[in-house]
Amino acid sequence: MGFRYNNRKWKDSMRLRLDYNNMMTDFVGTREGFTKKEIRDNMSIVDTAYNLVQLKRGRNMMGWSELPYNQEEILDDVIQTAKAVRKSCDYFVVLGIGGSALGPMAVFQALCHLHHNELPKSKRRAPKFYVEDNVDPERMAALLDVIDPEKTVFNVITKSGATSETMAQYLIIMNMLKEKLGENAASHVIATTSESKGNLIKIAREENLKTFYIPDGVGGRFSELSPVGLFPAAVLGIDVKEMIAGAAYMDKVCKNEKVFKNPALLLATFQYLAMKRGKNISVMMPYADGLKLIADWYCQLWAESLGKANDNAGNKIYSGQTPVKALGVTDQHSQVQLYTEGPFDKVTTFLAVDNYRKEVTISEGCRDIPDVAFLCGHTMNELIQAERQATEYALTKAKRLNHTIYLPEINPFTIGELLFLFEMQTAYCGEMLKLNTYDQPGVEAGKQATFALLGKRGYEDKKEELENATKKREDFTIA
């Protein structure tokens, strides 16, 4: 059986395009824009970053870079297990947080019907899908109100098994399943975790849970192309082999050592140079509802990877850009006013789609009202493209840095490309900033304080530290 992602001509037709015109002086002026000379003047930094990324591939926490190539057997297991889940259940629930939730949510939004859960089962051809990525008690109660445990499979995802939020969810769900289903409880839970260490693998073996493994060199925010994201996608009927093929295709593109031929390296260079100029906000603005949650996923990837107090030498650098998500056209009516006339502190990434999966014609009517009549006979496809071009023009006219990534269409191949493009961009930029792209000490500090507040053994000193912290003042509170 032939698959389109094995066809070179089709793959080339699906290649993402990067338009960086509006990053250059030709379009946004000499004060804000860049020149090719400026980029060439920084080639020692760019080349060093490129070489370090290539050197580190597949090693330590860059295991994610080999995911497009080393999962053939895993993919077969993922697909077969997902097929069985689709047959056996009406609801599929991911228990996770951070990368364990944002990636599956983003791919679901991109590649499934935008009202998937509301479709009748005959049209859905997959379970209803929910992701519990918080510990708001009302949210958990609401989930239990709309699912039938006997017809639900839960996928608990945490590499360490020490993620408090995810394990709290697991404890609640497993207790409920055991109360309602007894010995059959384990057949309703699938674990995705580390094979070699951590708490969840121990629990999975004790409870005899079906288990998928997260490779040791794959951190949460780089895990979507591992079983963390591939299994939920496969349950939803998404062609995960095509996603992986798209990632592999983009990886080959991003191995080009020439910066103007390598979109990830060039994007990293622009953002690095922009940060050096004080552009401390990175806006991502997709013009497709299907890509809306890609911006959420990107926010974690960019913020958690590059927001670091120290560089690799221990110097205080306080690096990073604040990622901001926006949605075209929606946020033209809320945020774009700020982007065009506010501070010169942003770089905007537009995500554009050449061919939407549906075409909707705007109906005839209101011919006596010129402000409405001009729309008649056009399509919504034309309208959203015009709105994106107009916003791009407005930002460029106002001398605001922006660039556009074009997807020929939204499908598993192009989503695989897009995810890998941003991962490679992040890796290159981290090397330019000379920091550890893969740790998150700021997150760990908050986790430790939570452990102390809830009385976890071994955190007595942290609890004492919190108790001795400066007390809040009553006169600084309005009640």
Strands 346-353 and 210-213: unpaired
The answer to whether 300 touches 98, Cβ cutoff 8 Å, is yes
% helix, strand, coil for the chain, step of 5: 55, 10, 30
Cis link prior to 329 (omega < 30° from 0)?
yes
- Among residues 462, 11, 15, 9, the alpha carbon closest in space to that of 261 is found at 15
Residue 3 neighbours by CB under 8 Å, 6+ apart: 241, 242
Instruction: Say if residues 321 and 282 touch (Cβ distance below 8 Å).
Output: yes
Distances (CA, A) of 406 to 20, 28, 166, 373: 11, 20, 35, 30
Which region, left, alpha or beta, applies to residue 51 given φ > 0 means left and ψ of -120 to 50 means alpha? alpha
403 is catalytic: no
Catalytic residue among 37, 115, 333, 471: 333
Tell me if residue 447 is catalytic.
yes
**Number of Cβ within a 10 Å radius of residue 17:** 12
Q: Please tell me the distance from the alpha carbon of residue 148 to that of residue 152, in angstroms, as a whole number.
A: 6
Q: How far apart are CA 201 and CA 204, in angstroms?
A: 5
> Known catalytic residue: 333?
yes
Q: Which residues of 93-123 are buried (b: 16+ CB within 10 A; e: fewer)?
A: bbbbbbbbbbbbbbbbbbbbeeebeeeeeee
Q: How many residues does the chain have?
A: 479
For residues 246 and 263, give the distance between their C-alpha atoms in angstroms, rounded to a whole number.
15
Q: Which entry of 32, 304, 417, 431 is annotated as an active-site residue?
A: 304
List strands edge to edge, sheet with 402-407. Answer: 17-19, 402-407, 346-353, 281-286, 322-325
- Cross-strand pairs, 348: 283, 402
The answer to whether 225 touches 191, Cβ cutoff 8 Å, is no
- Report which DSSP code applies to 364: P
The residue from 56, 178, 447, 462 that is catalytic is: 447
**CA angle, 339 then 429 then 50, to 5°:** 140
Residues tagged active-site:
304, 333, 447
